[in-house]
A and B are shown apart, each in its own frame.
Chain A
């Protein structure tokens, strides 16, 4: 199986600054790490992902880093805007399986 730990559970940042969310996993066979954003009352939506053959991926103000040795991956949101306020979930898929194991989520609050 797999266990994913996600921190912090709540993150408050000033509008325009950066926000960082960190996740760790246990199973070294995990090789795919998607991130989802979920707004109140809505479904989780994929925002970015990274595979184990990469260390960094960037798209539209989002950066994902993966450190396989430390079994750690992180999401960095640059120049945060009010629309970035939401729950964010990291997840891992272990090679040979097709289930997502999610972290417990981070409530990101962008303060004006």
Chain B
């Protein structure tokens, strides 16, 4: 059974709309992340959270907003969607941040923006 659950698995959106990507992990990890994978940029770091606090942010656009309602949840809200946002978004987690541990990845949400 997957320990990092991402919903939905597939998502189609229209340009200009807003979507929320859901992520919850049942590994007891304290650090959670979002990564993006597209044909243009294979695997790209977006955000890291530790104990529900933002630790690092690589995303230039404020259209991407992570939301952590619980320690094991890290959702990603994307507003004003553009076709260039089409990608697979991976949530990941590790026991702690700043401890040099390879994160485990969820199965991803495949987003297509038309």
Residues of A within 8 A of B (CB): 31-32, 34, 36, 42-46, 49, 51, 89, 91, 93, 95-105
- B103 surroundings in chain A (CB, below 8 A): 100
A43 pairs with B90, CB closer than 8 A: yes
Return the CB mask of B74-114 against A: 1 if under 8 Å, else 0.
00000000000000001000100111111111111000000
A46 pairs with B42, CB closer than 8 A: no
Assuming the contacts A43-B105, A43-B106, A98-B56, asked whether A93 and B100 have C-beta atoms less than 8 A apart, the reply is: yes
Q: Which 6 A-B pairs have the closest CB atoms?
A: A34-B102, A98-B97, A32-B100, A102-B43, A43-B105, A99-B45
**B58 is an interface residue with CB less than 8 A from chain A:** yes
B100 pairs with A51, CB closer than 8 A: yes
**B55 is an interface residue with CB less than 8 A from chain A:** yes
- A44 surroundings in chain B (CB, below 8 A): 43, 90, 105
Q: Please classify the interface of chain A as helix (H, G, I), strand (E, B), loop, or mixed, using the class held by over half of its residues.
A: strand
- Which range contains the number of B residues in contact with the other chain? 20 to 34
B55 pairs with A49, CB closer than 8 A: no
B45 pairs with A100, CB closer than 8 A: yes
| C-alpha gap A101/B90 in the complex (Å) | 14
| C-alpha gap A89/B14 in the complex (Å) | 31
Q: Which residue of B lies closest to A89 (CB)?
A: B43
Most buried by A among B42, B48, B102: B102
A95 pairs with B105, CB closer than 8 A: no
| C-alpha gap A46/B105 in the complex (Å) | 9
- A42 surroundings in chain B (CB, below 8 A): 107
**B50 is an interface residue with CB less than 8 A from chain A:** yes
- A102 surroundings in chain B (CB, below 8 A): 42-44
